[in-house]
Amino acid sequence: MVLSNLELYARITAHELDLIGSQLSFSDRLARENDWSLEFTAQAIIEYKKFCYLAMTAPHEVTPSDEVDQVWHLHLLYTRDYWGTFCPDVLKKTLASRTNQRGSKRAPTLFGELPRNPKELSTRI
């Protein structure tokens, strides 16, 4: 992945989703709710952060994989962190999930079928 905004990428990767002192961490909850191993969960969070970077920097809409979408939607439930810190201080912009008219979570695109995996997309940019 070629990084056009190193400062943004550094802020995103440094942002910690697991709050210290919480009884059930973000990662533990994500793993439990999706029946994922903690190793797979950690990788899904890394991919989510890459997706956030691509969503902020790509010249077109990007669509998350199902796994990344699970991370994103759980993060949205942590409203104080997502809307109070992540968007304004880390991304410096709002990143909202979009739904098309048929109720699908997938955003419509003018560019045809885009890769759903941020890893695959990042190799194309």
Query: What average pLDDT score do residues 34-63 get?
Result: 95
Query: What average pLDDT score do residues 86-113 get?
Result: 66
> Residue 98 — pLDDT band, cuts 50, 70, 90?
low
pLDDT value, residue 105: 52
Query: What average pLDDT score do residues 103-116 get?
Result: 47
Tokens representing 76 are 């949205």
What's the pTM value of the predicted model, to 2 decimals? 0.77
Inter-residue contact 119 to 50 (CB < 8 Å):
yes
Tokens representing 123 are 């190799």
Question: Is residue 110 predicted with pLDDT exceeding 50?
Answer: no
pLDDT value, residue 3: 76
The domain ranges of the chain are 6-14+24-124
